[in-house]
A and B are shown apart, each in its own frame.
Chain A
Amino acid sequence: MMKTEAVIEPKSTLQPRSVEGRFRNAKTAILVFAYAVFFLLPWLRWERAVGPDQAVLFDIPGRRYYIFDLVMHAQDIFWLTALLFLAAVLLFFVTTLFGRVFCGYFCFQTLWTDAFRFFEKFIQGDRVARLRLDKQPWNAEKILKKGLTHLSWLALALWTGISFALYWGDAFELTTAFFTGTAPSAMYGTAIILMSTTYLTAGWAKEHVCLHMCPYSRFQSVMFDQDTVIVSYDAKRGEGSTGRVKPIKDMRDQQARQSAGHGDCVDCGLCVQVCPTGVDIRKGLQIGCIHCALCIDACDGIMDKQGWERGLIRYTSEHGLEGKKTKVLKLRTVGYGLATLLATIYLVWSIGNSKLLEVTAVQIRSPLFVQLSDGRIQNSFEVKVNNKSMEAGRYQLVIDNFPGAELELGQFSDIQLKPDSSIRILAKIRYTVPPDDTQKNREFQFRLTPLEGKVKESVIIPSHFITP
């Protein structure tokens, strides 16, 4: 008979056992590295000619995004599109090759849940101790241990929220302001929202996010094929012909097992106990498996102890399991790989070639032209010069291909610009239309020639001169 509880809600409160091994070490290393980057980056200082001395800073009101020596302006925002595209195709590419490895090692949910579980283990002990504590009635010990766990979670969650906010302003100032109650309300909002979502998803929802909430887990299956390298249980080796059996009595020896038709799986259940999403990998690939390979570590440990060959659970493809060759070069992998490569090249090229000196000339349209008292026609333009370099610049604006025309810039014939700054000036062009000329639209070019500064090449801006 099914239990009411089983009908109403899925089993919750998974208590995975901790495990040691190479994949666990890799996971820990990635976690430490990611945390170091995320939590320390806002504190890193960086010297600049102008602008903040923070290495990474997204200055929204100033419309500047500082990433080390790269200063992005609002108009460079399309790089973000390119970056997001790159991230998407890279994810597809990696998924086609190695399954859900992003989930197992790099996903925020995985990283933060993992960190939370480190705290939990440190305070409450490992799986067995935690299960015992859960069953225990509420006494001082339980209150203390559970309370401490949640406190540590809340502290990490709060620090996560604050750290995120620090990317949008001066880290030192904002932190002081936060704790003295003078920070902008947006910071409190950000910190509190991130703190609560972190606490709830990493502390309470845990594997349920991977199983029920994550959209990526739903569509990744279309990116798998029989050549995708995934965490798999070698059923042939594990089960043999008569199924797995515990190493009892005369079933300890590999040879004895094999002659009885049993495989190498000793049914210790460790692979299930260590799984952060509660998957029994021996039942085959399942949607909940995040390819963290902790079950590999667990099983390898058992195999080592038995003195048998490792790899009862291992990274391999379906074809690999069947003893065939895993084909890597396929339409799918090559396509995603190519898209990844192209997006990378484009992004690098685009950033490398971004113009440090931007000039635009917008014609003033009301009125398009003015007649002057000496009969000449005048057109006006608003010229915007944007010096994106970190050096001061001096420029000269002239017009090309327009013989007989006069350019007037008021008092700004020599345009001086501070580092990372822009200027708007009014340019008037005057021209005597020859009597027999009925042309209404003349093409010419503005040319901005740098006299001093980082940029050496002239910038040409095509434009039009309109006459009645």
Chain B
Amino acid sequence: MATPVKDPLTGAETTGHVWDETLQEFNNPLPRWWLWTFYGTIIFAIVYWIMYPSWPIGKSYLKGVGNEITYKTDAGEEKTTHWNMRALLAHDMQNGESALKQKEYLEKVGAATYEQIAADADMSAFVRSYGVGMFGDNCAACHQSGGQGVVGMYPNLVDDDWLWGGDTQTIETTIRNGRLGYMPAFSKTFDETQLTQVASYVLSLSGEEADAAAVAEGQKIFQGETGGCYMCHTSEGKGMYAQGAANLTDKIWTVANLPAAETTQAKLDAVKAVIHNGVKRQMPVFGKDGRNLSDTEIKVLTAYLQQMSSETAQ
């Protein structure tokens, strides 16, 4: 550029542009510190561009240098990758402060007995908060988020009634190995009258209304060789943990949906349907051969259920 144009009045340098005869544009340079800040941002951008994922190249992209993140995959292998939010999240989930605290608690729970967990308020509280997540991931699909189950399909886990037993050892076994619940269908064994009689007896066991004559006949079938029901449900009708046979004398119905039945007839029909069709239910294996939950995870779930269920006496 030629010699700078000066404004005659102020002596300031102008851009040389003149409008309307006298209107001029001053050439005021940026303050030095501002200029340097501007250069600084450029340098920052370049450093950032080198260190972090930036330009797309074809189907790939520049991944940046010196920004490795190491984390464990779900399969348990160590993986080192360039910086990205997913890896960072995985890394934080495994190494973050709360993750480490959680790990520490898990180890503590893993080493404790069920009695120790139940007697320790902190461990109990931890089991409740960690257990609710595990339950949600593994159990809630069938037993519902609060463990209330679905009548006829999946047992309620938070009442005080158990098909296979509610002590911690049994719960653990149930989770680890799964269960196969089976009651034969009596469609071929009983005619309609017999079906009504047995069903009436079953209803009477838990104090429901039923026709007295039918109850008396039903009792004979139940306790005798015709029905043979007593073999699993016991002659008192209290059920048997070893078979997963339901207690018929309490207020809880796991298969026949009595709570939803309004009339006596509907209740009778509900029970009849169960006897007619039989029951076939399966709980999957969550131990090594199934969903592969670890011992500690099974322990947390068991302790969680022990707390949430209403069984008082173990």
Taking beta carbons and an 8 Å cutoff, which residues of A are in contact with B? 1-4, 7-9, 61, 364-367, 370-375, 378, 380, 382, 408, 410-412, 415, 423-426, 428, 430
Nearest CB to that of A424 among chain B residues?
Answer: B125
Most buried by A among B9, B158, B308: B158
B159 within 8 A of A: yes
Asked if B128 contacts A426 (CB within 8 A), the reply is yes
Shortest Cβ gap from A227 to chain B (Å): 41
**A9-B125 contact given A2-B9, A366-B144, A372-B160, CB 8 Å threshold:** no
**Cβ-defined contact, A372 with B159, below 8 A:** yes
Which residues of the partner chain B approach A1 to less than 8 Å between Cβ atoms? 9-11
Contact A374 B28 (CB under 8 A): no
A373 and B161 contact, CB distance less than 8 A: yes
Q: Are A370 and B310 in contact (CB under 8 A)?
A: yes
User: 11 new A-B pairs (CB below 8 Å) besides A372-B252, A380-B308?
Assistant: A2-B11, A3-B10, A4-B11, A7-B10, A366-B148, A367-B158, A370-B156, A372-B251, A411-B118, A412-B121, A424-B128
Q: For chain B residues 120-169, which have a beta carbon within 8 Å of chain A?
A: 121-122, 124-125, 128, 144-148, 156, 158-161
A378-B310, A412-B121, A423-B122 known; A373 and B12 CB under 8 Å? no
Q: Are the C-beta atoms of B119 and A373 separated by less than 8 Å?
A: no
CA distance A410 to B312 in the complex (A): 8
The answer, yes or no, to whether B259 is at the interface (CB within 8 Å) is: yes
- B177 an interface residue at 8 Å Cβ cutoff? no
Closest-CB distance, B69 to chain A (whole angstroms): 16
Q: Give Cα A371 to B312, complex, Å.
A: 14
Q: Which residues of B contact A425 (CB under 8 A)?
A: 121, 124-125
- In the assembly, what is the distance between CA of A410 and CA of B306, in Å? 10
Q: Are the CB atoms of A373 and B312 closer together than 8 Å?
A: no
B217 within 8 A of partner (CB): no
Please name the residue on chain B nearest to A468 by beta carbon: B259
Residue B302 at the A interface, CB < 8 A? no
Q: Given A2-B10, A7-B10 in contact, is the A371-B125 Cβ separation under 8 Å?
A: no
A residues in contact with B11, CB < 8 Å:
1-4
Q: List A contacts of B259 (CB < 8 A).
A: 371
User: How many residues on the B side are at the interface (Cβ–Cβ under 8 A)?
Assistant: 36
**Most-contacted residue by chain B among A370, A378, A428 (CB, 10 A):** A370
With CB as the reference atom, state the residue of chain B lying closest to A406. B312
Q: Is B9 touching A373 in the complex (CB atoms < 8 A)?
A: no
Report the minimum CB–CB distance from B34 to chain A (whole Å): 11
In the complex, A412 Cα to B119 Cα: how many Å? 8
Q: Is the CB of B119 within 8 A of A61?
A: no
Which B residues from 163 to 179 make CB contacts under 8 A with A? none
Residues of A within 8 A of B156 (CB): 370
A415, B124: Cα distance in complex, Å: 13
Given A364-B146, A366-B144: A7 touches B121 (CB 8 Å cut-off): no
**Docked-complex contact B251 and A373, CB < 8 angstroms:** yes
> What chain A residues lie within 8 Å of B12 (beta carbons)?
4, 7-8
Instruction: Report which of A3, A8, A373, A430 forms a contact with B250, defined as CB distance below 8 A.
Output: A373
Task: Report the separation of the CA atoms of residues A446 and B251 in the bound assembly, to the nearest whole angstrom.
Answer: 28
Are A370 and B307 in contact, with the CB atoms below 8 A?
no
* Nearest-neighbor residue (CB-CB) of A367 within chain B: B148
Whether A366 contacts B118 by the Cβ 8 Å rule is no
Pair A370/B10 contact, Cβ less than 8 Å: no
B310 engages A374 (CB within 8 Å): no
Chain A residues within an 8 Å CB radius of B308: 380, 426
Which single residue of chain B is at the shortest CB-CB distance from A2? B10
Output the nearest chain B residue to A410 by Cβ-Cβ distance. Answer: B118
Q: Which residues of B contact A410 (CB under 8 A)?
A: 118, 124, 307
* Residue pair B252, A61 in contact (C-beta under 8 Å): no
Measured in the bound complex, the distance between the Cα atoms of B147 and A408 in whole Å is 19
In the bound complex, what is the Cα–Cα distance between A366 and B13 (angstroms)?
77
Q: Flag B231-257 by CB within 8 Å of A: 1 or 0 each.
A: 000000000000000010011100000
Q: Which 3 residue pairs are nearest across A and B when measured between Cβ atoms?
A: A366-B146, A373-B250, A367-B148
Answer yes or no: B21 CB below 8 A from chain A CBs: no
Report Cα–Cα, A426/B304, bound state, in Å.
11
- State A423–B128 Cα separation when bound (angstroms): 13
Residues of B within 8 A of A411 (CB): 118-119
Q: Nearest CB to that of A385 among chain B residues?
A: B121
Does B97 belong to the interface (CB within 8 Å)? yes
Chain A nearest Cβ from B73, distance in angstroms: 27
Mind listing 12 A-B residue pairs with CB under 8 Å? A4-B11, A7-B26, A366-B146, A367-B146, A367-B147, A370-B158, A372-B161, A372-B310, A380-B308, A412-B121, A426-B308, A428-B310
Min CB distance B28 to A, Å, is: 6
Among A408, A424, A430, contact of B121 (Cβ-Cβ < 8 Å): A424
Q: What are the residues of chain A within 8 A of B122 when measuring CB–CB?
A: 423
Complex Cα spacing A43 to B213, Å:
89
B58 at the binding interface (Cβ < 8 Å): no
Of B10, B146, B158, the residue contacting A4 (CB under 8 A) is B10
Residues of B within 8 A of A428 (CB): 310
CB distance from B119 to the nearest CB of A (A): 5
Residue picked from A8, A408, A415, most chain B C-beta under 10 Å? A8
Contact of B160 among A364, A373, A415, A424 (CB under 8 A): A373
A370 to B148, CA, bound (A): 8
B56 on interface, CB distance cutoff 8 Å: no
Instruction: Confirm or deny: B31 has a beta carbon within 8 angstroms of a beta carbon on chain A.
Output: yes
> Could you tell me which residues of chain B, from 255 to 314, have a CB within 8 Å of some CB in chain A?
259, 307-308, 310, 312
Residues 1-27 of chain B, each 1 if its beta carbon lies under 8 Å from chain A, else 0: 000000001111100000000000010
User: What separation, in Å, do the CA atoms of A372 and B309 have in the docked complex?
Assistant: 10
Residues of chain B lying within 8 A (CB to CB) of residue A426? 124, 128, 307-308
Q: How far, in whole Å, are A61 and B96 apart by their CA atoms in the complex?
A: 12
A44 to chain B, nearest CB (A): 28
Q: Are B145 and A374 in contact (CB-based, < 8 A)? A: no
CB-defined contacts of A423 to chain B, threshold 8 Å: 121-122, 125
A61 and B146 contacting across the interface, CB-CB below 8 Å: no
Chain A residues in 8 Å Cβ range of B250: 373-374
Bound together, the chains give a CA A253 to CA B9 distance in angstroms of: 45
Contact A374 B251 (CB under 8 A): yes
Check A373 against B252 for contact (C-beta < 8 Å): yes
Q: CA separation between A15 and B252, bound complex, in Å?
A: 90
